[in-house]
Amino acid sequence: MNVEAIGSNLTVNQSGGLDNTSLSQEDFIRLFMAQLNFQDPLEPVDNAEFLAQMAQFTSVEQTRIMNEKMDNLLILGTTEQATGLLGKTVEIQSFGNNQPGVVKAVEYTSNGPSLTIDTGSSEYVKGVTISNVRVITTK
C-alpha cells in the first residue's frame, strides 16, 4: 500500500529521505483536526487521550522554538569568535601542514564565517573556516 506524505512543504534531503524539519505547528493542528473530523462517532476520542495529544503538539512546538534559538546562539557565537580573530596571528591547517598568518578579513557566508589570512610574501588564503585555525597568537 502506498502512503503519501502529509503536508505540502515536505522536502527530500541529500540522502533521499524526507526532511521532517519543514513540518510546522499548523501541519500538526491540521492533522489533529482531521482526526477529530473523521473519528468514529460511536467511539469518540477519550478526553485523556485528547489532552495527551494536545500536550504533545505543545511540546513539539516548544522544542522547535528552542532549537531555533539554539541555532541563533550558535551563529552569534561563531560570528563573535570570527571577529575576535581580526588582526591576530594564527596557524591554519592547510594541505596537511600548519601555516602561520594574520587574519585580515572576515566574510559571512551561508556556511558561517570565512576568514582571509595574510601568510606573508603578498599571499592571501581565502575561505578559511574557524575549524581550520589551530593556534591563535596575540602579539
Per-position pLDDT tens, the chain of length 139: 443 333 334 444 555 554 555 566 777 778 778 877 888 777 777 778 878 877 888 888 899 899 999 998 988 888 898 898 998 999 888 777 888 889 999 998 888 888 999 988 778 888 888 888 888 887 6
Question: Distance between CA atoms of 86 and 106, rounded to whole angstroms?
Answer: 7
Residue 32: domain span: 11-81
Same domain, 53 and 111: no
- pLDDT at res. 32: 77
- pLDDT at res. 9: 40
Same domain, 121 and 64: no
Does residue 3 lie within any of the structural domains?
no
pTM: 0.53
Same domain, 31 and 70: yes
Does residue 5 lie within any of the structural domains?
no
Same domain, 54 and 99: no
Does residue 64 lie within any of the structural domains?
yes
User: All 3 cell numbers of residue 139?
Assistant: 602579539
- pLDDT at res. 14: 56
Does residue 59 lie within any of the structural domains?
yes
Q: Are 26 and 41 in contact (CB under 8 A)?
A: no
- pLDDT at res. 1: 41
Does residue 45 lie within any of the structural domains?
yes
Same domain, 72 and 20: yes
End position of a domain, from candidates 64, 81, 98: 81
Q: Are 101 and 125 in contact (CB under 8 A)?
A: yes
3-state secondary structure the chain: CCCCCCCCCCEECCCCCEEHHHCCHHHHHHHHHHHHHCCCCCCCCCHHHHHHHHHHHHHHHHHHHHHHHHHHHHHHHHHHHHHHCCCCEEEEEECCEEEEEEEEEEEEECCEEEEEEECCCCCEEEEECHHHEEEEECC
In the chain, how many domains are there? 2
Does residue 47 lie within any of the structural domains?
yes
**Which residue's entry shows cell 515536505?**
10
User: All 3 cell numbers of residue 30?
Assistant: 491540521
